[in-house]
A and B are shown apart, each in its own frame.
Chain A
Amino acid sequence: MFGYVRPLAPELKVKEFERFRACYCGLCHELGREYGAAGRSILNYDFVFLSMLLWGGRDSCDYCQRRCLPGFFRKKCVCASAPALTVAAGYSVILAYWKAVDNRDDSRGGRRLLAAAVRLLLKRPYRKAAARYPAFDRSVWERLDALHRLEAESCASLDRAADQFARLLASASGAAGEESRRALEQLLYHVGRIVYIADAFADLREDRRAGRYNPVAVRYGLASAEADERTKAGVRETLLSSVDLAAAALALLPKSYWTPVTENIVLLGLPDMIDRVLAGTYVTAGKRLPKRPQLSQNGE
């Protein structure tokens, strides 16, 4: 469920791309320092986005030179530790832990073992993070539990299922300042909704094979693993409406150092991701392209 919230890199200025990369590296170092190697392994784009949003109205960022394993001999310019990075790192550990618990209960065979191993590795980092952010921990646990129950009863409303994950992400706005909390909550709600539905669409085939519940398949009464044009159009429409509302909320956040990047992510990155997910050509970490990509009707 991670890796759907990224900028559309070709549309960023070079300096903005460098900033984004530095923030990505900054979050990685923050995870490493606070939660060790296991914490570092869960780094993902979505929480880089969150740390940029939690930056507040600050119009600057401190940088420092750091080494890391890929390319050890050359130091990289990364964002120095900042409160927003610390919070985002803690939140991502909490979410990754509960996601691993969820995966362990959901799957069978090798995947189950893998998820159980991840959960064990994340146990200590999770304890540290949960002690720091008990409110977020409780909210993640509650929402995932409610989502589980909805999935068990094969909930027919796409929105009702997406609502739980959206509210989970929206609860991360608790770390923001008073003046921007409401807008941030609305923004994160819709980003969460988009991620949940896009992920469900991307998982259609896999869920079908495993006989698992899939909200998109149930909502549109799909008889096969392939989505028809009506389903694609419906999902696209509802996701783009969420992008509209997310963009309207983003406009109400105070301008910060990261505004050009976050605007790119919401206005260009998300629609691009949606197009690719619907076309079946989106690649996230851990998910490969189908062996022979299906050609669309225009042959593109």
Chain B
Amino acid sequence: MQDPYKVLGVSSNASDEEVKKAYRELAKKYHPDNYVDNPLADLAQEKMKEINEAYDTITRSRKNGSQTGSGSTGGYSSGYSSGWSGGGSAYQQAGGAYAQIRSAINAGNLQYAEQLLDASPTRDAEWNFLMGSLYYRKGWLDDARSFFQRAVSMDPSNGEYRQALNMLGGAGSPYRQTGYGPPAQQGGCDMCDMCTAMMCANMMCGGCR
């Protein structure tokens, strides 16, 4: 097994707090929520397992060792590993041909899923959603978006479809940060704002004197 400290990216004499912080950051990065429907979900899951094991090993060895005084470690080890059931529970409920298509998409068998979808006689909301999922897996995000939008407009009450569309809009993405300064449409703090704020603050300091 790999050195658990190396897995978490901390030195072996790091404090409990530092270990916990490093663990939390990594767990956030590789959390299954970030890899929903992602073709690399299995790799992320493996990584997550590695991190959990490393953290468990460190906390256990520290509890048994000399540092028994700090009782606040642990408690995170099981939280992240249990939440992921691999594919979402709604997938099991659908019946018939769609269930077959869902499992083909989940298994990464995209060609087969595409054949089934092409052969499907109906073009209802779920069909559009599944087409969207298929294209998402392929990385064809523009087409995926169109299909998800159609699915949502045909069945606005369905939470699963809306969630898929939101995912493409970057909702909850840990990586989505605006570049260097916010884009023009979103308000925010640019250099001028900061400058003005500084000037105001300076004036107020003068007033207090």
B173 at the interface (CB under 8 A from A): yes
Contact residues in A for B43 (Cβ distance below 8 Å): 182-183, 252
* Residue in A10, A238, A244, A255 whose beta carbon sits within 8 Å of that of B175 in the complex: A244
Contact residues in A for B140 (Cβ distance below 8 Å): 157, 159-160, 163
Q: Of the 9-residue stretches B32-40, B99-107, B117-125, B197-205, which lies at the interface with chain A?
A: B32-40
Main secondary structure of the interface of A (DSSP, over half): helix
Contact residues in B for A297 (Cβ distance below 8 Å): 184
Please report the C-alpha to C-alpha distance between residue A291 and residue B43 in the assembled complex, in whole angstroms. 48
* Count, chain B residues at interface, CB 8 A: 31
Main secondary structure of the interface of B (DSSP, over half): loop
Please report the C-alpha to C-alpha distance between residue A8 and residue B180 in the assembled complex, in whole angstroms. 8
A114 at the interface (CB under 8 A from B): no
Contact residues in B for A182 (Cβ distance below 8 Å): 40, 43
A65 at the interface (CB under 8 A from B): no
Please report the C-alpha to C-alpha distance between residue A158 and residue B145 in the assembled complex, in whole angstroms. 12
Give the distance to chain B from A296, nearest Cβ to Cβ, in Å. Answer: 6
**Contact of B141 with A271 in the complex, beta carbons under 8 Å:** no
Given contacts A271-B179, A296-B184, 7 further A-B contacts (CB under 8 A): A157-B142, A237-B170, A238-B145, A243-B176, A249-B40, A268-B177, A275-B179
With known contacts A159-B142, A160-B140, A252-B44, A244–B29 Cβ distance under 8 A: no
Please report the C-alpha to C-alpha distance between residue A274 and residue B183 in the assembled complex, in whole angstroms. 11
Residue-wise interface mask of A (156-179) relative to B, using a CB-CB cutoff of 8 A (1 in contact, 0 not)? 011110010010000000000000
Please report the C-alpha to C-alpha distance between residue A243 and residue B168 in the assembled complex, in whole angstroms. 11
Please report the C-alpha to C-alpha distance between residue A64 and residue B2 in the assembled complex, in whole angstroms. 33
A247 at the interface (CB under 8 A from B): yes
User: Which residues of A (248-269) have their CB < 8 Å from a CB of B?
Assistant: 248-249, 251-252, 255, 267-268
**Contact of A241 with B170 in the complex, beta carbons under 8 Å:** yes
Please report the C-alpha to C-alpha distance between residue A248 and residue B139 in the assembled complex, in whole angstroms. 13
Please report the C-alpha to C-alpha distance between residue A159 and residue B142 in the assembled complex, in whole angstroms. 6
With known contacts A182-B40, A245-B38, A252-B47, A271–B177 Cβ distance under 8 A: yes
Total A-B pairs, Cβ < 8 A: 93
Most buried by A among B142, B179, B183, B184: B142
Please report the C-alpha to C-alpha distance between residue A13 and residue B125 in the assembled complex, in whole angstroms. 49
Q: What are 21 of the A-B contact pairs (CB < 8 Å)?
A: A158-B142, A159-B135, A159-B139, A182-B43, A186-B39, A186-B40, A186-B139, A234-B142, A237-B145, A240-B170, A244-B176, A245-B141, A247-B175, A248-B40, A248-B175, A252-B40, A252-B47, A271-B177, A275-B183, A297-B184, A298-B184
B47 to chain A: closest residue by CB:
A252
Give the distance to chain B from A279, nearest Cβ to Cβ, in Å. Answer: 8
* Residue in A159, A160, A272 whose beta carbon sits within 8 Å of that of B141 in the complex: A159
**Contact of B40 with A241 in the complex, beta carbons under 8 Å:** no
Contact residues in B for A158 (Cβ distance below 8 Å): 142-143
* Residue in B138, B139, B141, B184 whose beta carbon sits within 8 Å of that of A300 in the complex: B184
**Contact of A159 with B143 in the complex, beta carbons under 8 Å:** yes
* Residue in B9, B35, B176 whose beta carbon sits within 8 Å of that of A240 in the complex: B176
User: Which residues of B (20-57) have their CB < 8 Å from a CB of A?
Assistant: 29-30, 34-35, 38-40, 43-44, 47
Please report the C-alpha to C-alpha distance between residue A8 and residue B47 in the assembled complex, in whole angstroms. 28
Contact residues in B for A226 (Cβ distance below 8 Å): none
B157 at the interface (CB under 8 A from A): no
Please report the C-alpha to C-alpha distance between residue A159 and residue B169 in the assembled complex, in whole angstroms. 17
Interface residues of A (CB under 8 A from B): 8, 10-11, 157-160, 163, 166, 182-183, 186, 189-190, 193, 219, 234, 237-238, 240-245, 247-249, 251-252, 255, 267-268, 271-272, 274-275, 279, 296-298, 300
B178 at the interface (CB under 8 A from A): yes
Please report the C-alpha to C-alpha distance between residue A300 and residue B192 in the assembled complex, in whole angstroms. 12
Give the distance to chain A from B42, nearest Cβ to Cβ, in Å. Answer: 9
Give the distance to chain B from A15, nearest Cβ to Cβ, in Å. Answer: 19
* Residue in A245, A247, A272, A296 whose beta carbon sits within 8 Å of that of B139 in the complex: A245
Please report the C-alpha to C-alpha distance between residue A11 and residue B180 in the assembled complex, in whole angstroms. 8
**Contact of B40 with A267 in the complex, beta carbons under 8 Å:** no
Contact residues in A for B184 (Cβ distance below 8 Å): 279, 296-298, 300
B182 to chain A: closest residue by CB:
A275
**Contact of A237 with B169 in the complex, beta carbons under 8 Å:** yes
Contact residues in A for B135 (Cβ distance below 8 Å): 159
Contact residues in B for A193 (Cβ distance below 8 Å): 139, 141
Please report the C-alpha to C-alpha distance between residue A251 and residue B9 in the assembled complex, in whole angstroms. 14
Please report the C-alpha to C-alpha distance between residue A72 and residue B139 in the assembled complex, in whole angstroms. 46
Please report the C-alpha to C-alpha distance between residue A244 and residue B176 in the assembled complex, in whole angstroms. 7
Please report the C-alpha to C-alpha distance between residue A243 and residue B9 in the assembled complex, in whole angstroms. 25
Please report the C-alpha to C-alpha distance between residue A249 and residue B40 in the assembled complex, in whole angstroms. 7
Most buried by B among A189, A238, A279, A296: A238
Please report the C-alpha to C-alpha distance between residue A298 and residue B190 in the assembled complex, in whole angstroms. 13
